[in-house]
Amino acid sequence: MNPLLILPIAVPLGTAAVTLGLVKWPVVRRTLGTLALGTTIVACLLLLGEVSDGTVLVGHVGGVRAPIGITLVADTFSAILLAISSIMLLAVFIYAVGSPKTDESRAFFHSVYLILAAGVSASFLTGDLFNLFVSFEVTLTASYVLITFGGSKLQIRHGMTYVVISLLASTLFITAVGLVYAATGTVNMADLASKLTDIDPGLRSALGVLFLVVFGIKAAIFPLFFWLPDSYPVAASPVTAIFAGLLTKVGVYAIIRSHTLLFGEAGPSSLLLVVAGLTMLTGVLGAITQDDVKRILSFHIISQIGYMIFGLGLYTLAGLAATVFYIVHHIIVKTTLFLVGGLIEEGTGTAALRRLGGLLHTSPLLAALFLLPALSLAGIPPLSGFVAKLALIEAGFSIGAYITVGVAILVSALTLFSMTKIWSGVFWGRADEPPPNPGALDASSPGSPRLMLWPTGFLVLLSIAFVVAAAPLYALGEVAAANLIDPSSYIAAVTVP
Amino acid sequence: MVLAVAVLYGTGAYLLLQRNLSRIVIGLALLGHGANLLLLMAGGRAGDAPLVGENGGPFADPLPQALALTAIVITFGVSAFLLALAYRSWTLARSDEVEDDIEDRRIAAMIAARRAGSEFDDDTGAATGEEPPQ
């Protein structure tokens, strides 16, 4: 089997185990963590290179063949997500090293973070439902620890909500896996794809809806999103950033994979389109009523998830390609915005809009770092959000989903409104109440702001590079979408020895 | 077996809806047990141990057992973490109750403020946003 398939999981996991033993040497832990995540990036990019033409790489762990053994599968879609998420993981890791409020120097931060990285990679790579459950659990357990890492009252209270909701979703997941096994006798996704067509269509759609609910909770789609804006903002900024960038996207990945491979019917799905519209709308309306930078951004995650589901609901080549493109854009932009939010909080001691103001004068660099991804999120040309939304809306028009397209356009206008609200609240004017810790980031503050600024700046540059290279990347998205629409090559690669 | 699974799911769901953290933890544990039993049931009827070299049969399906074993380990670990979290919450707040949502409290406070403006004799119990103890 190709070693590239196992590296993105094994390297972070192994390093996590090693760093557990290095309690007294934070510098060694940092170096090892950076090296491990760097190696993961190289492995993921090489993997992307191998599958960029639409081939599907399959690895059977321990040499036991599918459908019995543990199967790792990389197609273009999962390789794209792996590559982008590994880059995010390293950038946020460096940011966390520089951030004084993260408790990064505490003994277990690095290990837990690396386990999270391994879990995310495993979720993208796994080829059967039960291992998807296990990877979800690995990711989630690491995220439980990270979200409550500070141990403050607020973090525990909101972390509890998060843990309980996620556990409920996991229980439903394992129930659904059990039911699928009872119905078909297999949990391998490629094997299931052919066996699910044989069972009663009513049972099949019931299972499909059950999985949609499970993954919907993880992805925070309407009406299962309540936990997200409650729990994300309380964690430390780098943690929130990586959660916002990756965790919900793992849920979206699972929805897309299960819909295209297992339960989807050919043609647009009106259920998904309605859900997508409502998700977009509730997310953005929630964001408008908030007055805290991190809470506004958290509600925007929900509304963005709606766009991704929209592309999936169309179920055309253009729609899915746009979704792939949109996910990558969203991961970069959302992570960057949360990192900038963290920088604001770090510099001033608060993220509440009414206590902030005039940062344009004190830290123009921060303003520039915020402005680009914020405009991109709202979809202002020529930034990446514009390209992604344009592709989605064109795909929507071509299939005649006018209502959802209308909602999408309205929501992006409201997103712009909400971004201007942050802009005018934070960077213009003057604070209604003085911030607890005035004075922007400077060299005298604890931690090393440089280490926080560099990754943020790098991600902003990455999102600009993403626009410059939009055409080849969109072509890559189309290859991925073609694989998703016609999963026969995926099934053939896994089942045929 | 089916009955046991149904009872575990039902009790678990009921406990999950309570306001006490300890009950929620126990409810989740029960739900987890129910799910594990369901996995085991998914393998069909009981049979002989499916070992290489054994003759006879019918054999039990080993895969759901492996799945259930993995699931049990995960449930165990997460339950331990959840208990630690509940304990931490208790030491910090000296309360086992789940608090109301931030938005709920804000809305309750807004309503209370509006009422206090118009009707001075109104009961201000809504201002705290908490339900009376049961």
- Chosen for mutation from A141, A179, A181, A207 (greatest number of chain B CBs closer than 10 Å) is A181
Structure tokens at A306: 């709606």
Rounded to the nearest 10 degrees, the angle between the axes of helix A26-51 and helix A109-125 is 10
Best residue of B31, B99, B101 to probe chain A, by most A CBs closer than 10 Å: B31
**Which tokens sit at B8?**
């575990």
d(CA A326, CA B88): 40
A130 — contact with chain B (CB < 8 Å)?
yes
In DSSP terms, which residues pair with B20 in a beta bridge? B97
CB contact under 8 A, B89 and A230: no
A88 Cβ contact partners less than 8 Å away, ≥ 6 residues apart: A242, A245, A246, A331, A332, A335, A459
In this prediction, residues B2-18 reach a mean pLDDT of 89
What CA–CA distance (Å, rounded) separates A408 from A146? 33
Q: What is the pLDDT along chain A (497 residues), one digit of tens a residue?
A: 788 888 899 999 999 988 888 877 878 888 888 899 999 999 999 989 888 888 888 888 777 776 777 888 898 999 999 999 999 999 999 888 887 766 666 778 888 999 999 999 999 999 888 899 999 999 999 999 888 887 777 888 888 888 889 999 999 999 999 999 888 888 888 888 888 888 888 888 888 899 999 999 988 888 888 888 888 888 888 888 899 889 989 999 999 998 888 887 777 788 889 999 999 999 999 888 888 888 888 899 999 999 999 989 888 888 899 999 999 999 999 999 998 888 888 777 777 777 777 777 777 788 888 888 888 888 888 888 888 888 899 888 888 888 888 998 899 889 988 888 888 888 887 766 665 655 444 444 445 577 888 888 888 888 888 888 888 888 888 888 888 888 888 888 887 75
CA B38/CA B31 separation, integer angstroms: 10
pLDDT tens for B40-84 read 888 777 777 777 766 766 777 788 888 889 899 998 998 898 888
The DSSP code for B52 is T
Kindly state the DSSP code that residue B61 receives in the 8-state scheme: P
Which tokens sit at B11?
A: 């009790």
Across chain B, mean pLDDT equals 78
Chain A residues 233-292 with a CB less than 8 Å from chain B? none
**What is the pLDDT at residue A149?**
81
* pLDDT at residue B124, rounded to an integer: 42
Residues of chain A contacting residue B18, judged by C-beta atoms under 8 Å apart:
none
CB contact under 8 A, B92 and A134: no
3-state secondary structure at position A22: coil
Q: Kindly determine whether residue A181 and residue B36, on different chains, have CB atoms separated by under 8 Å.
A: no
Q: What are phi and psi of A61, to 5 degrees?
A: -65, 130
- The per-residue pLDDT for A105 is 62
Cα–Cα distance for residue pair B111/A299, rounded to 1 Å: 24
Residue A443 pLDDT: 40
Q: CA–CA separation, A438 vs B45, rounded Å?
A: 69
Using an 8 Å CB-CB cutoff, list chain B residues near A187: 63, 67
Q: Write down the pLDDT at residue A254.
A: 93
* Residue A143 pLDDT: 92
What integer is the mean pLDDT of B6-28? 88
How many pairs of residues across A and B have Cβ atoms under 8 Å apart?
Answer: 88
Q: What pLDDT score was predicted for residue A103?
A: 62
Which tens digits make up the pLDDT trace of A177-192? 999 988 888 888 888 8
Q: Express each pLDDT in A124-135 by its tens digit.
A: 999 888 899 999
C-alpha A123/C-alpha A250 separation (Å) is 7
pLDDT of residue A250: 93
Is the CB of B24 less than 8 angstroms away from the CB of A145? no
**Is A181 in Cβ contact with B63 (below 8 Å)?**
yes
Nearest by CB: B24 against A164, A174, A179: A164
Assess B64–A contact: CB distance below 8 Å, yes or no.
yes
CA A61 to chain centre: 26
Contact B28/A230, CB-based, under 8 Å? no
| Closest residue in chain B to residue A147, using alpha carbons only | B85
CB atoms within 10 A of CB A383: 22
User: What is the ipTM for the molecules in this complex?
Assistant: 0.79
Query: What local confidence, expressed as pLDDT, does residue A138 receive?
Result: 92
Indicate the DSSP class of residue A225: -
Instruction: Collect all residues with Cβ–Cβ distance below 8 Å to B61 and sequence separation of at least 6.
Output: B43, B44, B47, B50
Q: Are the beta carbons of A304 and A270 closer than 8 angstroms?
A: no
The answer to whether B74 contacts chain A (CB < 8 Å) is: yes
Contact residues for A344 (Cβ-Cβ < 8 A; gap 6+): A293, A351, A356, A359, A366, A370, A426
Give CA–CA dist A102/A173, Å, rounded: 32
Distance of alpha carbon A72 from alpha carbon A340, whole angstroms:
36
Asked if B6 is an interface residue toward chain A (Cβ–Cβ < 8 A), one would say no
| A1 SS3 class | coil
Cβ-Cβ contacts under 8 Å, A153 against chain B: 89, 92-93
Say if residue B119's pLDDT is above 90: no
Cα nearest neighbour of A290 on chain B: B103
> DSSP assignment, residue B100?
P
Q: How far is B22 from chain A (nearest CA, A)?
A: 12
Provide the 3-class DSSP secondary structure of residue A221.
Answer: coil
* CA dist list (Å): A197 to A101, A117, A250, A253, A265: 52, 35, 26, 22, 11
Q: State the alpha helices, DSSP H only, in A220-363.
A: 227-231, 237-242, 248-258, 270-288, 293-314, 317-348, 359-362
Burial A266-290 (b: 16+ CB within 10 A, else e): eebbeebbbbbbbbbbbbbebbeeb
Interface mutation vs chain B, best among A112, A156, A158, A231, most B CBs within 10 Å? A156
Contact A88, A331 (CB under 8 A): yes
% of chain B beyond a pLDDT of 90:
11
Residue A445 pLDDT: 47
